Structure 1
């Protein structure tokens, strides 16, 4: 009987500990995440292709976002116009981590794409200044 009582009390103690509140950012809740940087497609005013199939978009007055292509996008460095949409449809607001599709024109008579990419990050002012002039949007 004593073993059964001990087992029941131990199980109850473990169950109650699992329900106890934990401080924010603890291992049980995971780290606190900063809000993702986002932009509206209508805010994009310029773009440039960088090295290694990277695309830089200027969104708004000061925001520059880096997009990394998934695979190879033919003649991306010759693009003079592009359209960008969320890969899964939905609104025109894109955030870091979102998969996108790019259709672009330039270098030839036919549009290229769709080309898959991911919004990697928003660059800081120092990172924008450090970009080579040929990659800075």
Structure 2
């Protein structure tokens, strides 16, 4: 297996962002609910910031105000110092829509070595009060 280069990571992110999505009728930059399952969903292209929380925890800013919590299966190495990451839904490039309880991969390009990949589960969308209660260093 060949290690991923930074350009491969950027290409994977670009491809995932261009994949067709079903947003449940929401406009650009807005998170959507999946009425059939009651889950909260978003498109990878809507993610505009991220921060690492406590060990195994990542927070995503989606659109203007939605914040999602991701839980890593294991740890996400090198995330503290990453300038960019790729979020790729499990199952390949079939689409870029993610909902709570879905699994995805966070790809962190290495500066001097291969990229680091960690598997994450989209745990939940935080309420406005929960976002406000986050320590400033954890707020995306």
Q: Give the structure-2-normalised TM-score.
A: 0.69
Moved over 6 A (4+): none
In the alignment, structure 1 residue 97 sits paired with structure 2 residue 101 = yes
Q: 1:40 aligns with which of 38, 43, 48?
A: 43
RMSD: 1.7
Unaligned runs of 5+ in 2: 1-35
Matches within 5 A, 1:122-133: 122-133=125-136
> What number of residue pairs does the alignment pair up?
104
- Shift of residue 111 of structure 1? 5.1
Q: 1:67 aligns with which of 60, 70, 74?
A: 70
- Shift of residue 75 of structure 1? 2.0
Unaligned runs of 5+ in 1: 1-32
Aligned to 1:16: none
Higher relative contact order (CA 8 A, sep 6+): 2
1:89-136 deviation digits (Å, cap 9, x = unpaired): 221000000010110136x43353221110000000000000010010
Aligned to 2:119: 116
Query: How far apart are the structure 1 equivalents of 2:47 and 2:61?
Result: 6
Q: Which has the larger radius of gyration?
A: 1
